[in-house]
Amino acid sequence: MRTSHRNRCYTGIAALCLVLLIGSIPAAALNATFTVAANGTAYNASIEVENADRYTFIERGLLGERIPKEVNSIRVSGPAGAVAFEDRGRGSITFPEGNYTITYRGFISDSSLQADFDQPYMVTVVLPAGLDVRNPFLGVISPGGEVTEEKDGAVIIAWETARFVEVRFYDDLRERALLIFGSFWIILCAIFILPYLIFRQKRQ
């Protein structure tokens, strides 16, 4: 009887450990992809939602507040195809509860793209060839973003998990302007500083 009781205890402990282990494994993050247009003024987004009946298009204002985001070409798609939705105003849409992919077109101002989520997402931002973020004097990437370049020149920024992402990109023209401006200041400094250093060395 003691052996049977002991076995039941071990079995119970093993089951409890298994439950705790399963509970500790984080659920896979949903995917969100933003593909920036060639002219850098708009983007196409694809957002996965799970067990949802509502989605709100939001962004952050100047003070960090969450405000409705202007979007168009909204489409809600499930396993059987497109699903009807209702516009509830202030950036919210509703639809039958389920798992869907929501696609839409958004707009970009000042070469800055932001995305705000209610839960962690696996986020990917795709910049076409001719746009970049890797110059630290011109580009901005929110923490956690990893940058890679495709063979066609496209730049991919990816976050394994994020609730908010920000990308500020630039084009080739802006980068060339920075190089010209930097070269000008280097030459200017050389013109004024070198004579001073030579004069000081002669006095010594």
Q: What is the pLDDT of residue 24?
A: 40
Task: Answer with the residue of higher pLDDT: 12 or 80.
Answer: 80
Say how many domains are in the chain.
1
On whether residue 188 sits in a domain, the answer given is no
Mean per-residue pLDDT, 194-198? 70
Q: What is the pTM of this model?
A: 0.76
Residue 71 lies in a domain: yes
How far is Cα 38 from Cα 51, in angstroms, rounded to an integer? 34
Is 184 domain-assigned? Answer: no
Helix (H, G, I), strand (E, B) or coil at 28: coil
Give the structural domain span for 92: 28-171
Q: What tens digit of pLDDT does each residue of 145-171 get?
A: 999 999 999 999 999 999 999 999 999
* Closest listed residue to residue 62, CA positions, set 110, 107, 105: 110
The CATH code of the domain that includes 56 is 2.60.40.1730
